[in-house]
A and B are shown apart, each in its own frame.
Chain A
């Protein structure tokens, strides 16, 4: 019964909430009424957008030494999670069999493990830094903590299910994934979809005004 609920109705429900929620949030941002910029353009908006999208991958030299931990932890977590999510063999097979109907070559098992270790280590570093730095702690919201904990729980249950011989552990992992999918569109996790448009928008605004930032 529980297995059926997790594998069938809850899976489709969470997937629907995720897809509709993400699309709704993106549409809300895209169609948000903004004031028309009547100023005379001093530079290229598209150039500024592209520049900002890529330049923000590297921190400014002035602040780099102070945020080294966040940068290293951030890259470790996000790249590790991306690799695990889309290139780990169990995930590729799951996406192929349950969602897409096609698959791709997964990464070798050792690379999967290393990527997972990077993701875990990065997330622990980032969350501890958030908790231990007085400023970060003050500006962190409940949403930030729920998102971090939920992501950690999903990764942990995935780690527990690595043996793949136990159906219950796989179900537990799927259940936590479903919770994450439902929470995702209404949380700071949406930054996975908005960080590029956000950078582009800011960069275009800067570019049009000739701001070199």
Chain B
């Protein structure tokens, strides 16, 4: 009985296999298509343009399943700023090093006289240095955030970089708004004297003295300084506003606006950092006597005559030139002798 039953089961199983081998079931119609969900996913992806769908979830962009612009933005970020920002900065640094090697420090004809003219008030210098310190901090932390993944992870590893990135992000976001306030203070303090005037174009055409021979005439600020000033204000405002949009994502701005803000923020920052390197060079080691303007607030009269002759004429007419002794006493330094005090002139 048992053997009979076993044989029947074996026959049944063999029969089943034979049936399956001989007559496979027909595929469902959908499976015949090369990519069954292609149409559906094409709609979901919304490659051409984000399309708002209908959803019960209330919120900005909540009707968009996948934002194709996000891909485009991410690709742009990786392919352009992250790739070219270090190149731009290295090129600028190389130019400055080369310029210094070839030209050296731009000196003053006749040297420094020791006779000084007040150029900036305490308040103006505080505003300048506040903006400068905040800008440098933001530039450093911003570059860490932008370039860290490609440049710092190979150096420090993931653990240390993640710590550095977190610290940079938090401090960048916190200090950022101070840059905007400093910028507004900068506008209030310096805007009036940076309005373009007659004679500025000549300065530009002569390349600030680098093209052709002879001295280029300049007022209190020359064309180069004015252009740098307006660049700081305008690009700085663009960076600040885009930064505020990025740091406050809960004010109803969508992802597209966030992506555009990011692009504006990064490009503006790279331009400003690159040009600021030139400003720092010219204001310190590049030009003799320049740094004194932002250190003590006073500049040498020979420096004024060399770079800002129209202003030099004004200060002489108004009798605003201090002797070296007067300047030293004003800064709590009593000169050793009158000979030293009067300087070379």
Interface residues, chain A, CB within 8 Å of chain B?
A: 69, 113, 116-117, 120-121, 124-125, 128-129, 132-135, 137-138, 156, 159-163, 165-166, 168-169
Given A129-B126, A132-B125, CB of A166 within 8 Å of CB of B171? no
Q: Does B66 sit within 8 A of A, measured CB to CB?
A: no
Which of B133, B174, B331 lies in contact with A113, CB distance below 8 A?
Answer: B174
**Given A134-B296, A169-B163: A117 in contact with B174 (beta carbons within 8 A):** yes
CB <8 Å contact, B174 and A116:
yes
Instruction: Name the residue of chain B whose CB is nearest to the CB of A163.
Output: B166
Query: Chain B, 158-185, contact with A by CB distance < 8 Å: what is the 0/1 string?
Result: 0000110011011100110110010000
B171 in complex: contacting residue of A128, A129, A159, A168, CB < 8 Å: A159
A selection of 13 A-B contacts at a CB cut-off of 8 Å is A69-B122, A117-B174, A121-B130, A124-B133, A128-B126, A132-B297, A134-B330, A162-B170, A163-B166, A163-B167, A163-B170, A166-B166, A168-B163
CB distance from B117 to the nearest CB of A (A): 16
Which residues of chain B have C-beta atoms less than 8 A from A120's C-beta?
Answer: 174-175, 178
By secondary structure, the B interface counts as helix
Apart from the given pairs A128-B126, A129-B126, 11 other A-B contacts in the complex at a CB distance below 8 Å: A69-B123, A69-B126, A116-B174, A117-B178, A124-B130, A128-B129, A134-B332, A162-B171, A162-B174, A169-B163, A169-B166
| A117–B177 CB distance below 8 A | yes
The 0/1 profile, CB within 8 Å of A marked 1, for residues 305-345 of chain B is 00000000000000000000000001110000000000000
Judged by a CB distance under 8 angstroms, whether B274 is at the interface is no
Interface residues of B (CB under 8 A from A): 122-123, 125-126, 129-130, 133-134, 162-163, 166-167, 169-171, 174-175, 177-178, 181, 296-297, 330-332
A159 near B134: Cβ-Cβ < 8 Å: no
Question: In the complex, what's the smallest C-beta–C-beta distance from A109 to chain B, in angstroms?
Answer: 11
Contact partners of B134 in chain A: CB under 8 A: 124
Instruction: Provide the bound-state CA to CA distance between A37 and B126, in Å.
Output: 45
Closest B residue, CB atoms, query A157: B167
Inter-chain contact A128/B174, CB cutoff 8 Å: no
Closest to A124 in B: B130
Is the beta-carbon distance between A125 and B130 smaller than 8 angstroms?
yes
- Shortest Cβ distance from residue B31 to the other chain A in the assembled complex, whole angstroms: 47
Tell me the interface secondary structure of chain A in the complex.
Answer: helix
Select from chain A the residue with minimum beta-carbon distance to B297: A132
User: Is the CB–CB distance between B331 and A134 below 8 Å?
Assistant: yes
**One of B122, B171, B297, B332 near A156 (C-beta < 8 A):** B171
Give, as a whole number of angstroms, the nearest-CB distance from B305 to chain A: 25
Q: Name, among A69, A120, A137, the residue most crowded by chain B CB atoms within 10 Å (CB to CB).
A: A120
The interface residues of chain A lying within 8 Å CB-to-CB of B162 are: 166
B122, B130, B133, B174, most chain A CB atoms within 10 A: B174
Residues of B within 8 A of A125 (CB): 126, 130
- Write the nearest CB–CB distance from B105 to chain A, whole angstroms: 24
From residue A10, how far is it (CB to closest CB) to chain B in Å?
Answer: 21
CB distance from B188 to the nearest CB of A (A): 13
- Most chain B CB within 10 A, of A116, A160, A161, A168, is at A160
List A contacts of B297 (CB < 8 A).
132
Q: Are B126 and A132 in contact (CB under 8 A)?
A: yes
